[in-house]
Amino acid sequence: MKKVIVITGASSGMGKETAKKLIGEGHIVYTLARRVEQMEDLKNLGGHPIKMDISNEEEVTKAVQTIIEKEGRIDVLWNNAGFGLYGSVEDVPLEEARKQMEVNVFGLALMTQKVVPFMRKQKSGLIINTSSVGGKVYFPMGAWYHASKHAVEGLSDCLRLELKPFGINVVILEPGFIATEFGSVLLNNFEKISKDSAYSEMMNAIISNTKKTEAEGSNSQPTVIADAVSKIIKTKNPKTRYSVGKMAKPLIFLRNLVGDKMYDKMVTSQLK
């Protein structure tokens, strides 16, 4: 069945690959992102790109209104926009930390607030919120990113209960290590931090591990996320969570299995 699908953060990586798959499956797909020029290929495939900053309420409102005016409904909202901010709590300026929360948490909430009234009216809908394996586990230098994804987990659980009476499903997507721009963003963040940082040794170990992983090409391809999202959309009664991609399920299983101190030791052992 053809559905009207809205994807935020669709200019690259998981969002773009999934948009391609869903367009190919015959759905009406609206792709929203700041870098609209990077979605020209999606337009050529039959998609509907819209330039939108997830942290700008006026732009979000306008985008949703445009879709409703053209289609009359929104069947699926995939809140996928987000980025990773890395650096120690001591080093990262709070202005940057607020931006992390503004995009990863409040942007997701804003988009949801604008779409839900239409889903309630049609008494149906599916909202997929992109969390991360980082919403269940943690690593040093990622405090603000992990905080944002832990927040998405909690927000989504509450939202699921609130919207269930209206026939709206809420699903949490927890990607593992996916071959996207994430690694380069992490490295760029570290470059902004002074080389005299008290945490430079730890940062260098993380930089080395990140570069090694990217060089080996051992991360899962974004297509695994595209397949998962397609499956979720087709499922009448989807699960509440989908852990997808390299190390997603093993890391979450491990975190649930061992206590805090044991997990801390296992993580720090990888930074030597």
CB 233 within 8 A of CB 23: no
Rounded to whole angstroms, the maximal C-alpha distance in the chain is 57
Active site residue 149: yes
CB 76 within 8 A of CB 3: yes
Q: Which of 30, 86, 145, 242 is catalytic?
A: 145
> In DSSP terms, which residues pair with 174 in a beta bridge?
243
Active site residue 11: yes
Q: Which of 21, 114, 149, 246 is catalytic?
A: 149
Q: Which of 16, 88, 131, 136 is catalytic?
A: 131
Q: Which tokens is 68 given?
A: 């409703």
Active site residue 145: yes
Strands 28-33 and 76-79: unpaired
Q: Which of 11, 132, 148, 156 is catalytic?
A: 11
The distance of Cα 246 from the centroid of its chain, to the nearest Å, equals: 16
Active site residue 265: no
User: What are the residue ranges of helices labelled H in 134-199?
Assistant: 143-163, 182-191
Which residues are known catalytic residues?
11, 131, 145, 149
